[in-house]
Amino acid sequence: MTKFNKTLLAAAVAAAVALPGIASAASLGYESGKQITFAKDLIVNDGTTINTPSELTLRATSDDATRIATVAGDAVTVKVTLTNGARFDSTADASSFVSNFAVGAQLGGAPGATLAGRLVGTPYYSANGQELNFTFTAPGNGTVGTAPDFALRLNSMQVTSLVQGLFTGNFIGAEITAQNAAGQQILAAGTTIARSVWGLNITSEESTNLASRIDVAGGSNYGRKTRFSPTGTVGGAEGVANTLWSPGSIIIDVTETQTTGNAGLAYVNNFSAVAAQPEYNVVATAVMSITVNGSNLNAFRNNNAFLNSASTCDAAGSLNGTVNAAGDTIAFTAPASNALFSSVTNAPPGPSTVYVCLRANGANEMMAQALTATVNVDYQLSTQRRNPPATTVNLSPLEINGNTLVFQNVNPGANSRAQSFLRITNNTADVCPITIDAKDDAGRLSGEVTFNLPAHASQHFNSDELENGSPKGTGSFGDGTGRWYVRVTAECNAIKASALNRNTDTGVVTNLTPEKGLGTEWLTPSTRL
């Protein structure tokens, strides 16, 4: 850099520092307790219009004191600029809008003073609608004072062109500047004036009876695995009310977010934050679809699955589900006006809680399986609403009672110095379906080995057979890392199992059976081999 250029730069910096009012420490924000978040579902196109909250307040700080102290009688020019693609709605008359702005003591206003009768010229929007411009005569000299003193307080703004800011993005902002008659900037600040989230919050809660199990024991007038044992004990289905069980509830509610000033949660806004009841709600035209997902739900065909408003599944007004041809889903569909969902359509809204109910009819054999539910909401108003993305939530799994045993330190088949053996005995008079799986030292879940063990019979497996498969069962673990932590799940109530390790060098046999544990110790990994 030349000496000449350095001199010019130094002069420019000095001039900028010397210019009064080149920067402002003012703040712009809503008063406490305002909900500034809108439902993203509303932003269909750039023609959508919202009304922001009122009381967007510009406040000076002590750093601004000198600039506002001599404004009495000045024509103060204000520019309000919207950010992130938002535009002022030109159908909202700018003069009427601005004349109701409050002017506070920081610009010489008395309590309750507005800009009515103080405007110089006519307020106007810029050609592209991004700016609002107006000029007014300051009623007196300003003083910073103390809270809640302010300079200007704006009313609710009618804003459009929101796709960029509130659908693709999640906020829009406003910047405001005020200049005195000499063209000096006396106040400037910016803030977020509206945010967006999807309007519905869909969650689930687990079963209110986590002890209940599919009973592996048959009864006097029903077969094995065709009734629920409410306490989970084998044979517990006999002689008790056990035909219904709910794997949990699905809660469809309007989204809540924090209000300004961390004043508490509130439902997000519908189109207008200043309406008497501003909360978003579901339109009555909407269709609510809930799909329960499993692996084998055939037992619940013919109206043996339904939605209900009670955890005990016995309230009036159930909604029956339909099992698909593949048997892995149950579909429930109803208009939002259905009593099960109507709470979320009310003004103001509330949560709609529905319980998934499964009926054991004593004839259809039920299968243990994980359960989830997928919720879709179709507003059926393509010009006024965007459908929210589908939401999948967890339900409690369908589980059998039977016996579950786990064994530690089972060697892999690749261990040439030590072999492991597993022996399982069925001590019942019925054929017992059995599943063996494991997790390895890397924390991954293996494949499954399944087989039917005849009454009073035993079966023996070594590690090679479990890992690579054998005629003794269907499936295999696969190739794991390190040793196995093995789980044996038996669909009968009197299963015995033992495990041995044999050192191939010394012939020493170690009994692993003392390391056996109950299946309640088991936590299934999310990652498979």
What pLDDT sits at residue 220?
A: 84
Strands 495-503 and 509-511 come out as antiparallel
Residue 79, exposed/middle/buried by CB under 10 A (0-12, 13-18, 19+)?
middle
Residue 91: which residues within 8 A CB-CB, separation 6 or more? 158
Same domain for 114 and 191: yes
With respect to residue 2, please indicate whether it lies within any of the assigned structural domains.
no
With respect to residue 378, please indicate whether it lies within any of the assigned structural domains.
yes
What pLDDT sits at residue 8?
A: 35
With respect to residue 4, please indicate whether it lies within any of the assigned structural domains.
no
With respect to residue 479, please indicate whether it lies within any of the assigned structural domains.
yes
- CATH number for the domain spanning 491: value is 2.60.290.11
Is 335 strand, coil or helix?
strand
> Per the structure block, which two tokens stand in for 410?
């089972």
With respect to residue 249, please indicate whether it lies within any of the assigned structural domains.
yes
Q: How far apart are CA 44 and CA 168, in angstroms?
A: 11
Strands 369-378 and 287-293 come out as antiparallel
What pLDDT sits at residue 13?
A: 36
pLDDT (tens place) for every residue of the chain, 529 residues total: 444 344 334 433 333 333 333 456 899 999 999 999 999 999 999 999 999 999 999 999 999 999 999 999 999 999 999 999 999 999 999 999 999 999 999 999 999 999 999 999 999 999 999 999 999 999 999 999 998 999 999 999 999 999 999 999 999 999 999 999 999 999 999 999 999 999 999 999 999 999 999 998 888 888 889 999 999 988 899 877 779 999 999 999 999 999 999 999 999 999 999 999 999 999 999 999 999 999 999 999 999 999 999 999 999 999 999 999 999 999 999 999 999 999 999 999 999 999 999 999 999 999 989 999 999 999 999 999 999 999 999 999 999 888 888 888 888 888 777 788 899 999 988 899 999 999 999 999 999 999 999 999 999 999 899 999 999 999 999 999 998 999 998 888 788 888 888 877 776 777 766 666 666 667 778 788 8
What pLDDT sits at residue 518?
A: 64
Q: How open is the CA angle 306-311-314, to the nearest 5 degrees?
A: 60
Residue linked to tokens 């890992």: 467
Same domain for 364 and 248: yes
Same domain for 53 and 155: yes
Q: Which domain-ending residue is among 373, 398, 423?
A: 398
> Per the structure block, which two tokens stand in for 312?
């005990």
Q: How far apart are CA 373 and CA 241, in angstroms?
A: 26
With respect to residue 10, please indicate whether it lies within any of the assigned structural domains.
no
Residue linked to tokens 């009623």: 139
With respect to residue 8, please indicate whether it lies within any of the assigned structural domains.
no
Q: How far is CA 224 from CA 229, 311, 402, 492, in A?
A: 11, 25, 11, 9
Q: How far apart are CA 176 and CA 87, in angstroms?
A: 14
341 contacts 306 by C-beta, under 8 angstroms: no
Strands 37-39 and 185-197 come out as parallel
449 contacts 417 by C-beta, under 8 angstroms: no
Same domain for 282 and 242: yes
293 contacts 247 by C-beta, under 8 angstroms: no
Q: How far apart are CA 102 and CA 112, in angstroms?
A: 7
Same domain for 55 and 30: yes
- CATH number for the domain spanning 56: value is 2.60.40
- Looking at the DSSP bridge assignments, the partners of residue 277 are none
Same domain for 387 and 270: yes
With respect to residue 3, please indicate whether it lies within any of the assigned structural domains.
no
What pLDDT sits at residue 519?
A: 63
Residue linked to tokens 């009073």: 456
Q: Which domain-ending residue is among 197, 220, 244?
A: 197
Same domain for 448 and 366: no
Same domain for 131 and 77: yes
| C-beta neighbour count of 89 within 10 angstroms | 17
Same domain for 159 and 88: yes
Sign of torsion, CA 511 514 518 520? Answer: negative
Q: Which domain-ending residue is among 197, 230, 259?
A: 197
- The boundaries of the domain holding residue 92 are 17-197
HEC sequence for 451-473? EEECCCCEEEEEHHHHHHCCCCC
Same domain for 173 and 192: yes
Q: How far apart are CA 129 and CA 135, in angstroms?
A: 17
371 contacts 198 by C-beta, under 8 angstroms: no
Question: Whose CA is closest to 410, among 401, 420, 418, 402?
Answer: 420
How many domains would you assign to the chain?
3
Same domain for 99 and 39: yes
Terminal Cα-to-Cα distance of the chain (whole angstroms): 63
Residue linked to tokens 């054991």: 360
Q: How far apart are CA 463 and CA 482, in angstroms?
A: 12
Q: How far apart are CA 63 and CA 144, in angstroms?
A: 9
Same domain for 136 and 23: yes
